[in-house]
Chain A
């Protein structure tokens, strides 16, 4: 049973031609995702992302499992028993959402990268330079979303590039282009934010009060804002998203200060160990 019905909500959207200097990103509207996984396939095809096994995970129609070095789009499938009929009787709803790297405005992966392999592109996206990355793995533990990962057999870290090469060619990313329902929308961030808020209002008016935005407002995260945000129909953690993601480099000055105090204590400790000069 469909969660949301009605005419296609985004009929007037023209295809965006990204320009350098423009801040672009994704708005993924999960209310019209049909779980076709065209985004996953298009991403793998365009970016030559290797196969990482054909597995049956036993998690509904999701056999990808999670984002990682070899999965830059991941369609989540959630089966829920909900009163969906007007009289409040039982039924089943299926939630689907195509997850992706959030390209955080204060990206922890980028900030902790010691080689400078992770960089901010001219489109405001976060990209790994494969020819620089030495596979230290710091980004893996820094990402509060569990997105970036080191590729086995290769040793370097990989994640969504927001199709950097296509952006440079003024084309939209492969996943957005392949999405048949416009659930994945690509464009300038500010425009997408407006569109997301309008869509939420429409859904609330239609009685879909479960709908909420994730990562559109700065208040629900401490990563400086998400360049890929979502419209969800349940709590973020149901989709495997953290409720309130935090970029921990936010606390780095405090950590450096504490370490400096500890280092000072060490120096004094060594001095004290020798006592007064005899």
Chain B
């Protein structure tokens, strides 16, 4: 059934690639924060610092990406104008702000403690526990940063996004864990990177499993994931993620394979975010009659006969109608 002149019912998402990139960098930053805190608690200094570097780097890229994508970038502070539970973007903005502040304090205190300028030593000893507290907060908020973006894409009218709402948080969480574990495996000496490798492998498995589950369950709304560029990106992501995880699991105790495996996991996570992101655009386009016209209704009510015509039950689409009109015109032009 074609819609009005083959036009999609939904508008194309207005978001640029910066948003998909943020899903990746935000997930990386969030889970790196959690990994760093846990390593710090367990006295694994090398891993704690490696993950903290990844977290700060991911965050440093995330914030400009988000501001850049706004129609009015100078009004980015309006994101904190209200607290609105019905808006995943509002809640996300608050989670991200808290995470940024906590990560900032944690990184500053760690930096100050490493450099230890003599004049500041007494002050530093006071700040030190504050830094650990901040890092604990960052760890907690980091798991939120890694998952709220799944709610953000799911809470739209785009069928390929909304119908996947039960798997999306697990895909995003797995993807974030895989990327954070991969980054820490690159940035940390192999002897200290064991937990990072385990997190990466676990995350990779969850990401791929949840993703396949979603594609199997979506029905007609899954079509965008199985065609064209999105399919390529999706398969590339699966290959890179599983390959990277296998590499880390088997040869992760040697430096070169650890670096390659970590990089593959990072690339796999990035590809997954772009695949999901692009699928939404295609899904919105397919509301022109090729695919589902919008989010699935909870229960389609039985059609009341008063609302449905009874005389002519023929369904005629706008496009068919136009061609039929052409035929009529041609017939009318024939001399009798």
Across the interface, B155 reaches (CB within 8 A) one of A60, A219, A249, namely: A249
Closest residue to B44 on the A side, CB-wise? A274
Known pairs A115-B82, A269-B177; A155 contacts B11 (CB<8 A): no
Q: Closest A residue to B289 by CB, please name it.
A: A237
**Stretch with Cβ within 8 A of B (4 or more), from A22-30, A33-41, A105-113, A163-171:** A105-113
Q: Would B42 and A274 count as touching, CB distance under 8 A?
A: yes
| Chain A min CB distance to B224 (Å) | 14
In this complex, the member of B84, B92, B147, B170 whose beta carbon has the largest number of chain A beta carbons within 10 angstroms is: B147
The residues of A that contact B34 with a CB separation of less than 8 Å are: 266-267, 270
Q: How far is it, in angstroms, between the C-alpha of A63 and the C-alpha of B328 when the chains are bound?
A: 23
Whether B143 and A263, one on each chain, are in contact in the complex, defined by CB atoms closer than 8 angstroms, is yes
- B99-107, B191-199, B268-276: which one contacts chain A? B191-199
A252 to B155, CA, bound (A): 7
Knowing A81-B324, A141-B280 are in contact, say whether A265-B173 is a contact too (CB < 8 A). Answer: yes
Q: In the assembled complex, how far is the CB of residue B143 from the closest CB belonging to chain A, in whole angstroms?
A: 4
- Residue-wise, chain B 179-213 has the 8 Å CB interface mask toward A (1 for contact) of 00100000000000001101100110010000000
| Cβ-based interface call for B165 (8 A) | yes
Give the nearest-CB partner of A147 in chain B. Answer: B11
How far, in whole Å, are A66 and B10 apart by their CA atoms in the complex?
10
Residues in B neighbouring A234, C-beta threshold 8 A? 316
The verdict on B89 contacting chain A, using a C-beta distance below 8 Å, is yes
Q: Which residues of chain B are within 8 angstroms of A78 by Cβ–Cβ distance?
A: 4, 318, 321
Q: Which of A3-11, A132-140, A178-186 lies at the interface with chain B? A: A132-140
Say whether A113 contacts B35, CB under 8 Å. Answer: no
Q: State the main secondary structure of chain B at its contact with A.
A: helix
Interface size for B (C-beta < 8 A) is: 103
Q: Chain A: interface secondary structure?
A: mixed
Contact A116 B81 (CB under 8 A): yes
Contact of A116 among B71, B82, B170 (CB under 8 A): B82
The interface residues of chain A lying within 8 Å CB-to-CB of B71 are 133-137, 150, 154-157
Q: Which of A90, A207, A256 has the most chain B CB atoms inside 10 A of its CB?
A: A256
Q: Which stretch from A13-21, A42-50, A187-195, A208-216 is at the chain B interface? A: A208-216
Q: Mark A197-229, 1 if CB is under 8 A from B, else 0.
A: 000100010010111110001011010000000
A79 to chain B, nearest CB (A): 4
Q: Quick check: A80 and B316 within 8 Å, CB to CB?
A: yes
Determine the chain B residues whose CB is within 8 A of the CB of A156 once the complex forms.
71-72
**B89 contact from A59, A112, A155, Cβ within 8 A:** A112
Contact of A244 among B140, B198, B300, B327 (CB under 8 A): B300
C-alpha spacing A113/B140, complex, angstroms: 25
Known contacts A135-B70, A237-B1: A259-B177 contact under CB 8 Å = no
In Å, the complex CA distance between A249 and B149 comes to 15
Indicate whether A251 reaches chain B with its CB closer than 8 angstroms: yes
Determine the interface band of chain A, counting residues with CB < 8 A from chain B: 35 or more
Contact of B14 among A137, A204, A209, A248 (CB under 8 A): A137
Contact in complex: A246, B296 (CB < 8 Å): yes
From B9, B44, B79, B328, contact of A115 by CB (8 A): B79
B87 touches A112 (CB 8 A): yes
B324 near A144: Cβ-Cβ < 8 Å: no
Q: Are B173 and A262 in contact (CB under 8 A)?
A: yes
> A243 — which chain B residues lie within 8 A by C-beta?
293
Judged by a CB distance under 8 angstroms, whether A2 is at the interface is no
B148 at the interface (CB under 8 A from A): yes
Minimum distance in angstroms from A223 CB to a CB of chain B: 10
Known: A138-B87, A267-B140. 11 other contacts (CB 8 A): A134-B78, A135-B71, A135-B75, A137-B71, A146-B11, A235-B315, A238-B4, A239-B4, A269-B177, A269-B202, A273-B199
Q: How far is the CB of B175 from chain A (nearest CB, A)?
A: 11
Q: Please determine whether A266 and B31 come into contact, CB atoms closer than 8 angstroms.
A: yes
A65 to B152 CA separation, bound complex (whole angstroms): 29
